[in-house]
Amino acid sequence: MKLIVGLGNPEKQYEKTFHNMGFIAVGDVAEILGTKFKKKECEASVAEAFVGGEKIIIARPLTYMNNSGRAVKQLMAKYKIPEENLLVIYDDYDIPKGKIRIRASGSAGTHNGMRSIIGETGLKNFARIRVGIRDEGVDIPIINYVLSEVRKEDYELFAAACAKAGEAAAEFARGLDIEKVMCKFN
């Protein structure tokens, strides 16, 4: 069993913000795997799919970004998900807009959602897909930037980045080793 988590904020006002790239990308994962977000459990909105007989849990924490770890910890405990079967998708200010980066493990960096996951679970050796959001032409504090809406002229760029992240996560769900996912999509 695998758990794919997209980070974001649950309220409608945050729907089109940079901080919701993870939510958008797991929507793409669900679509690729032929499922929908139908239930709420463990402080998350959840979709379930089966790939080659293996259950795939796709989740959007409803705890707000800074407490994402609570939902991830609960889902991992409920479904007995091992660390190597967890994949988290989130926005990253350190990566240029529209790019994605996949890693097999790492630190939280400057991301509060990832800090929460690492803090709550005590884990670091899980896969992550980061969707780049940094725009060199914007000079405002990071907290204001990540909670601002994506500009209309950049919408297609970010939609494509989230779709690519979603396809990479779907490959992980289908059993492709994270190192091979990295080679294919990085």
19 belongs to the catalytic site? yes
Pick the catalytic residue: 19, 70, 73, 164? 19
> Tokens 């259950």 appear where?
55
Cα–Cα distance measured from residue 186 to residue 128, given in angstroms and rounded to the nearest whole number: 12
Beta-strand runs (E) in the chain? 2-6, 39-41, 44-51, 54-61, 86-96, 100-103, 127-134
Helices H / strands E in the chain, number of each: 6, 7
Collapsing DSSP to helix, strand or coil, 119 comes out as helix
Which amino acid belongs to residue 150? V
96 contacts: CB under 8 Å, gap ≥ 6: 132, 134, 136
Active-site annotation, residues: 19
